[in-house]
Structure 1
Amino acid sequence: MHFLGGSPLRVDGKIYLDYQASTPLDAACLEAMLPFFTHDFGNPHSTDHALGWSAAAAIDLARLSVAKLIGASPEEVFFTSGATESNNHIIQTVARATGRSKILVSAVEHKSVLAAANAAAKFWGMEVHFIPVDSSGLVNLECYKAMLDQDVALVSIMAVNNEIGTIQPIPDLVKAAHAVGALFLCDAAQAPTGIDIDVYSWDLDFLSLSAHKLYGPKGIGALYVRSDLLVDLEPLIYGGGQQGGVRSGTLSTPLCVGFGAAADLICEDSFLDRSALNLRKSHFLEVIKSNSVSYVLNGVQGEYCHPGNISVRFLGVDASSLLLRLQSYICASTGSACNSGFINQSHVLRAIGLSEDESSNTVRFSFGRFTDSSQVEEAAYLICNAIKKV
């Protein structure tokens, strides 16, 4: 198994269709990381010798690459353990410091946002209000604007949904929040593989990323903070004052380097063909339809859906049973892979109006760089045969 040149990816013979849970580490990222596990192992915060200088320089270069990916300045980008930490940092520190009383989050946010908002309510007395979405997963603009007032400290709305792929009109949502003086956090973990990001044109205050969603390593993410907000931003993690005191702790040089390499790859036009992903998605559904399998797509379709996302309900088919039957052949998910350990209705599917039974019929397939047309066709036939047996 290897990940170079867009080669079709199989893991122990299985077709991997779970790219929104995690992307495979690209070989170029691994190659960039390896020297910093061995020869260039110095602490990047050691300022008195060459090994420390070399590691620090590599991290600075990686920070520049991540900044370029989102259209930011490098001094506005801070490495974290992932988007979960980044989301917690902003929600908890804003709640702790603000003179306002409300936080607005969309009803389809990632659990790291929902749980952090609930913690802000518990520990700092914030009121958490959930912005409703329509049946496609798009924020209800009329309700959203009615909820905005001078008491709102922070709005958190994700750019691309991790379960149904819906792409939100972030610039419009930010503009409405700023009109009442509220700050705006955008969880963009799923965005780089689906859309272009520009924090300046979007006028964002904060943005979060995870490297393992864009062909980089796990355990590393980033937090963007608009430069004029840095002076008032309290740290979430205290310690040695690394990263300008915003986020203490010794940085992992290889993970930062891997993240930077992944960001560089995403910026290359030839790395990820989004139009090809859309074609693969259409072909997948055509094969299923031609085999007389009944299905309904969840979420919005077309330009407002991540090109690699398919959230589909197979009518009358229990999704968990279907995936169990397919587990020797296909890797996919019944919902967000972050919701592990419990079988509950997805809050995202509930928010778009699905019943518990309809949610139990839902499978999320997500395509990526290493998904080719032969895999798509083979997977579709395997799914159809399994459904007929179920």
Structure 2
Amino acid sequence: MTDSSSADTKRPSGTMQRMSNAKVLVVGLLIVSMATAGLAFVPGLFSSSPEQLNEQAQADSFVPTPVGEDETVWTANGASHTRKAVQDMLKPFATQRLLDALADPGTADPSLATNLSATLSSVISADLIAQAVAEAQVGVTDEELRTKLDEFISENFKDDATYQAALAQFDLTEAGMLQQLRFPMEAERLTDARYPIDDAVVQEQLKPLYDEKYKSGKIIRHMQFPTVEEADAAMKRLVDGEDFATVAQELSKDPFTAKKGGLIGPYQQGMIDKAFDDAVTGTDVGKLGGPFQGSDGWHIIKVEAVPTFEQAHDELVDQARKAIQAQNWITLSEEIEHDAGIDLDTRFGRWKGMAFGGITPAFEVRLQQNQGQARQQAAPSERAAGSS
């Protein structure tokens, strides 16, 4: 193993609870696209880990009645959308398995139920804002969608096989991926058209935003390895003078940061776990830290200096605008939904608003209700125990 003293390194212990690759993939198209748009809409797709979903499914013994072809899935702006009409609408975008789930929203497969809720969330949201988008003439072209999807694939998938596996995992076709992207892009444009952002307000927020974002004074890059031997081999190359970003791109097993030369960005205590906190605290700017072990393998970090306010200016402007835009989107989406009078069949879940995740799947709604009832039942005994 590499002598830590030769590279100003430390090996703190602890556990890593970083988001798994599967869950990062889950964040995938919808959440990444909304982060790009700067909006608050985060559909239910990928909101829970497979383990959590399975636990929730096991806790849910209720099986709702099937949905007939002519029964209404949702109503908005006085128009009703039957199950058959929705299936026809979704055919270009979804797998047959997802289409079949429309007839059986009480499926015991929690992943499928969650995928269905996310897909319906996007479709309903697009339907709600379609007229406003047309009136404002802020529609997105097929070429713009293709460009956005190509960027997303390049940034988040190591190869086409991984991308195709993600499509299959979430019951989408590529047309479905493009359709999922259309709504957030059009919602962003519609928000800016209805609520233009005052540049003076943006400028007022930049210095406080800079101070908060970079208060640690450290930018972190990292590499992840399954074994200490691999981590030590990478550390030796770094000690010998090789560029951290280059080595990370070549060797790190975290595909999402590896693509960015291992870049995590500005670090705040508690951002990941104690092992990472200790490593960052114990490593000066310009130095290497590690290898150190976490629950998901071995890690090496490099600490870099934060940019100056002037260097970060454009990035801060973009961040401030997106924060303002997110609040404007909440206001606009609530206006649209109020006027539309949306009504969703409860067998598909609960509509909680475009800006707040679209649809909560029915099995999650029931689980939340059960948890709430359990807390209410426990409250009197807890109060009694406290008074005694």
Considering the TM-score relative to the shorter chain, is it more than 0.5?
A: no
> Whose helix proportion is higher, 1 or 2?
2
Scaled to the shorter chain, the TM-score interval is under 0.3
Larger radius of gyration: 2
Q: Which has the higher contact order (CA 8 A, sep 6+)?
A: 2
